[in-house]
Amino acid sequence: MDVLIQVRKVSKTFEDLSGNTGGSVEAIRMIDFEVRRGEFVSLVGPSGCGKTTLLDIIGGLERPTGGEVILEGERVESPHPKAAMVFQTMSVFPWRTALTNVEFGLELRKVDSRTRRNKALEVLHLVGLQGFEYKYPSQLSGGMNQRLAIARALALDPDILLMDEPFGALDEQTRFLMGLELLRIWEATRKTILFITHSIAEAIQLSDRVLVLSMRPSVVKEEIPIPLPRPRTIETLTTDACKEIEHHIWDILKVEALKGLAERHGQ
């Protein structure tokens, strides 16, 4: 299997212009990992550990201060056309219908309207939004809007999906169901997915591997394979093996989360 995402010794230090923290903040330190084609990898870490910064660097939205990111063999200087991002907050446009939201990226790429429409209808069907093509986001539920955001990313025919806590704003049950939906879509399309979450349960539910990040400056604390059988169901996710992994990740994260908490209170 070939490697699609290579993160090589990526570091990021922000110059703090307000000067509150004494000059600069080191967000990420020498992060190093790879994701193979078709893999589902999650990044888990405490709040404020720089997960989003890392994903933005991989997505070409931010430049690292050290190291490099290579997607499909090309060094990332700007957003890679074969990598699509999905964000946590409501990023679908309220002034566009579901259909035209999905068409947006293709519109920017100057794809002709007929091809665009057909592609959009196809992906809306794939994410289970058939029948809602002409609805506006305000007429859809939170879960449906995130499906829409995923459909918009899929419309671009990416090889890689970079997802920044896409279900973070949803309630727990919807979140779990959306996870199953994402797995179904992933199995149908075989995209390579890099997924950020702070939910350990979600990371285990979805991933082949979980990378646990530390508190700032963020490093990869441990890489944990999730050998649970697929398709994942309530049964596979409540076994002792699963519980054990969850416990193990918690143990690492607990230390980091406490550090983060102490830091915030110390300020």
Partner 1 sequence: MGNRLIIRLSRIAVILLTLVGLEAVVRAGLVSKLILSPPTRVAVKAWDDVRSGELLAHLGVTAVEFSIAFLIALTLGIGFGVLFFRFRLIGGAVEPLLLAFFAAPSILLYPVFLTLFGLGSATVVAIAVVTGTIPIVVNVSAGLMGVERIFVKLGKSLKVTPWQLFWKIMLPAATPTIFSGIRMGFTYTFIGVIAVEFLLFSGGLGRMVSWRYFIFDTEGLYSGVALVITIAALVNSLVRLAEERVRARWT
Residue type, 207: S
Residue 166 as a binder of partner 1 (CB under 8 A): the answer is: no
Cβ proximity to partner 1: between 160 and 224 the closer is 160
Cβ proximity to partner 1: between 25 and 61 the closer is 61
Cβ proximity to partner 1: between 146 and 205 the closer is 146
Specify which residues 71 forms β-bridges with: 5, 74
Helix 172-189 vs helix 113-126: crossing angle, to nearest 10: 120
Q: Would you give the binding string for partner 1 spanning residues 21-60, x where CB under 8 A is met?
A: --------------------------------------xx
Cβ proximity to partner 1: between 100 and 189 the closer is 100
- The alpha carbons of the chain give a radius of gyration, in whole angstroms, of 19
Residue appearing with tokens 């990740």 = 249
> Which of the ranges 4-12, 65-73, 88-96, 251-259 carries the binding residues for partner 1, by CB under 8 A?
88-96
Q: Are the CB atoms for 63 and 139 separated by under 8 Å?
A: no
Instruction: Please give the Cα distance from 176 to 183 (Å, whole number).
Output: 11
Among 49, 85, 148, 178, binds partner 1 (CB under 8 A): 85
CB count within 10 Å of CB 249 equals: 21
Cβ proximity to partner 1: between 13 and 91 the closer is 91
CB of 1 to partner 1, least distance (A): 26
Q: Are the CB atoms for 168 and 206 separated by under 8 Å?
A: no
Site for partner 1 in 96-155 (CB under 8 A): 104-105, 107-108, 136, 138
> Which of the ranges 22-30, 90-98, 224-232, 253-261 carries the binding residues for partner 1, by CB under 8 A?
90-98
Instruction: Please give the Cα distance from 26 to 55 (Å, whole number).
Output: 16
Cβ proximity to partner 1: between 161 and 200 the closer is 161
- Helix, strand, coil tally for the chain in percent (to 5): 40, 25, 35
Angle at 12 between CA 57 and CA 216, to 5 degrees: 110
Q: Which residues bind partner 1 (CB under 8 A)?
A: 59-61, 78-79, 81, 84-85, 87, 89-91, 93-95, 104-105, 107-108, 136, 138, 156
